[in-house]
Every structure is written in structure tokens, then in C-alpha cells.
Chain A
Amino acid sequence: MQCHKVRNILITDGLDGEWSETQRRRVEAHLAQCPECGAFARELQGAAAEPFMDMPRQDVPSDLLADIHRDLRVRVQARRSVFKNLIEYWWQTVSARPALAFVPAAVVGLIVLLSVFQPPRVATQVALQDLSEDSYLMYLASYAEDGNGSDGYGTVIEEVFL
């Protein structure tokens, strides 16, 4: 195994023990006979592994959970209060002007009416059809009266083939 390959393995998989058994045996065989790579392995251990070894965990601040609970309570109350405020506002408005209670019913009724009674689309289509028929007849008439004596009948192709 070449030195650069060995060092490449040592710096990641080797240091973290993420290598296969075969890989480990091959690297160790190389290290046994290559003092430079052996020195590199020790240097790597000192620079990238030892400083982090058995580093104790820091204590979580004791009042963190209380802060989280307070945060969550505010959020839950904010969500509830949006709905609650809407209901309260509506109730106050309706108490002051009872006639406003009919507004939602009127809106719903209007929506139902609009969806049931559609505008008469068929009549429009007939009118369009008539118009197109009229223009087609006018087109035919103009073709018959174009004054070239052919009575609007016969083309060069027809003269050749018929």
C-alpha cells in the first residue's frame, strides 16, 4: 500500500474506526514497516483525537425547561386568544346590533342562490350561431355576385380535370 493512501485512510476511517477488518490489517502492516506513516499516525492522534477525548458534557441550565414551558404557554394562549377574540368581538357586535346576526345567513343565502341560478348561457350560444350563419350566407352571396361570370362555380383545376 502506498503512503498517501494509508494516510488518506488514517485521517478519516482509521481515526474513527470506520474501516473494514481487511483495510485495518493492511494499514497496520504498512505502519509496521513505514516509520514516516507511523509518525503521521501519532501526530494525527495528538492533533485530532486526543483533545476531544472524554470531554465531559456541560450541565443544561436548570431553568431552561421552565423557560420553554413559559414560551409554549404564551404560544398556546396566543393561538387560543386569536379564536377567542374573534368570537368575543362577534358577540359584542351582535349584542349591540342584533340585526347583524342575519348577515352571515344572508351571505350564505346569496352564495346558494348564485350557485343554483346560472345565467342563460344557451341563449348566448344560439345568438352566436345565428350570427355565424348570417355571415356565412353573406359570404356565399358575395361570392356568387363577384362579377367574373363564373357564377361562383368552377376553378382552374376543375377545368383541367373535368
Chain B
Amino acid sequence: MNQSEVMTEISQETIQQAARGNEAAFDTIYHATAGFVYNTALRVIRNRELAREISQEVYVTLFDKLKTFRHESRLSTWLYRITVNKAINLMKSESRMKRADVELDHVAPHVAPEAAACEEQEERRRVINRLLDLLTPEQRACVVLRNLEGLSYARIAGVLGVGVDVVRSRLRRAREKFLSARREVMRDAMS
């Protein structure tokens, strides 16, 4: 299943109520969107503390800007955009990345480790982290939105504010890097 389908779309009425300061409506939006906001941030920034910080900032921004939200695009697209932009900006700030680098491959799984299945998942997470490490922030955002969130090219273009051809080109470059990395691993294994 396309992972983006996990997120339920929020009614216009709920958005308007939240914009008027209704706490329950705000919580409804949070519960419907927090999964993809946190996971997108985590996969782009690859650090739990920073992902949490970004998610918190995203919802504070949402609270501030909800009154100006025009229903031309989906709320989810808007939230993806805020999340990805914050994550990319944070990634680009050198000092924060130094902090993030320390944690990259030593992130303990959030779910309690349970035997081999969890170990396998953890190994896969490490592989993904190593692959994402090869990419620029923009390429990483494209890969996360496509491969992990399951968004279409058109929707990724909408989130990032670029053309579909730019999305295609970033994905191509990212996958060429994945291919090179795989070939290198194979060569090392052979020798």
C-alpha cells in the first residue's frame, strides 16, 4: 500500500475550527498527520531529537499560519512542504549536522527490540541510512517522499515547489549513486 494513503485527509471544517483556536480540532489534525510529519523529518534528518524538534516547529508554524491557509492545495501537501523545508534547512546548517552525524548509525529503535525480526529491521534501517547518507539534502527529500512516503512525481514537485523534471533528475542522480555504492560493495565482497 502506498504509505501516503495512511494519512486521512482532514475536512475543511476541522481546519477552520482549528484556525479559530479550537484545541480539539487542532488535536484531530495532529493525530491525522503526526505520523508522516515525524517520519518524513526523521528520514530526511536521520536524528530522533532533531526530528522531534522539527515536528514541534511544524505544528507551531501550523498554529500560526492556519488562518492564512488557502484550500488550493491539500493540507498534507502544505505540511510536507513545511517539514521538508525545515529538515533541509537544518541539514544545511553545518553545526547541527555535526551533532546529527554522531547519532546516525547508533539510533536505538523506538520500538522495543524483539528477537530477530527487530534485528533485521534495524539492519535494514542502517542500510537505508547509509544510502541516504550519499545524497544531497534535496535528493534525499525526493527519495524519502517517493520511496518511503509513496508520493507521485507531481505531488513531490508540488511539495518541493519545483518542476516534475527536476524531481525526475534528482531521483536519477540519487539512484545512480545507489547503483555505484552497490557495485562497490559487490567488488569488495568479490575481492
Which residues of chain A have a CB within 8 Å of any CB of chain B? 8, 11-13, 15-16, 18, 43-44, 46-49, 51-52, 55-61, 64-65, 67-69, 71-72, 75
Contacts and interface: CB of A to CB of B under 8 A. Distances in A.
Contact of A57 (B6, B152, B172): B6
B146 interface: yes
Nearest to A16: B146
Interface stretch (B55-63, B68-76, B95-103): B55-63
Contacts of B153: 16, 18
A55 B179 contact: no
Contacts of A12: 168, 171-172, 175
A57 B34 CA distance: 11
Consensus secondary structure, chain A interface: helix
Interface residues of B, number: 43
A15 B124 CA distance: 20
The 8 closest A-B pairs by CB, nearest first: A52-B147, A47-B182, A48-B175, A47-B178, A48-B178, A60-B38, A60-B34, A68-B59
Nearest to B127: A51
A48 B60 contact: no
B81 interface: no
Contacts of B27: 65
A86 B26 CA distance: 30
Contacts of A8: 172
Interface string B9-49: 00000000000000100010010001110110010000010
A59 B131 contact: no
B111 interface: yes
B124 A55 contact: yes
Nearest to B26: A72
A91 to B, nearest CB: 27
Given A55-B124, A56-B121, A75 B60 contact: yes
Contacts of A69: 23
A52 B127 CA distance: 9
Nearest to B175: A48
Contact of A48 (B56, B111, B179): B179
Contacts of A61: 38, 48, 52, 110
A44 B172 CA distance: 11
30 contacts: A12-B168, A16-B146, A16-B171, A18-B152, A43-B179, A43-B182, A44-B175, A44-B179, A47-B178, A47-B181, A48-B147, A51-B128, A52-B128, A52-B147, A52-B148, A55-B125, A55-B128, A55-B148, A57-B35, A58-B39, A64-B34, A64-B56, A65-B27, A65-B34, A67-B56, A68-B30, A72-B59, A72-B60, A75-B60, A75-B63
Contact of A51 (B3, B110, B131): B131
A72 to B, nearest CB: 5
With most chain B CB atoms within 10 A of its CB, the pick from A13, A16, A18, A60 is A60
B176 interface: yes
A44 B60 CA distance: 40
Contact of B168 (A13, A46, A48, A59): A13
Given A11-B176, A15-B175, A64-B38, A59 B146 contact: no
Contacts of B63: 72, 75
A64 B64 CA distance: 18
Contacts of B64: 75
